[in-house]
Amino acid sequence: MSDQLALFAPAPKVGARSPETSRAAALEVAPRTGTQRWRVLQFVTACGDDGATDDEIQDALAMSGNTERPRRLELVEGGWIIDSGTRRRHQGRDRIVWIRRSE
């Protein structure tokens, strides 16, 4: 695992009994430094327990919703970030607050 990725432990979501090949494959899809997915993960991680909504991520990273939302979805599907269960109001609507998954 890269040093930068190690800063944002936990490791990718794989089962405890997963073969080594599954673990290697999980690391292959891990967010890479310099990618949009990495930027989203880094921002959500930096927000800590306060987390961030899609709107907040988009504003902070100067990313359109059509760019940010798919990256965030990839991170959710990969087990990197989760719905905190908290909602924040933005433009009259409740928005999901995303946080970094912890072990």
Prediction pTM value? 0.72
Predicted local confidence at residue 75, as pLDDT? 93
HSE of 38, CA atoms in CB hemisphere, 13 A: 12
Tokens of 96: 């999901």
**Out of 13-27, 29-43, 62-76, least confident range:** 13-27
Predicted local confidence at residue 1, as pLDDT? 38
Calculate what percentage of the chain has a pLDDT beyond 90.
Answer: 61
Q: If you average pLDDT over residues 16-22, what whole number do you get? A: 61
What is the three-class DSSP state of 52? strand
Predicted local confidence at residue 18, as pLDDT? 58
Domain 3-100 belongs to what topology?
Answer: Arc Repressor Mutant, subunit A (1.10.10)
Predicted local confidence at residue 31, as pLDDT? 73
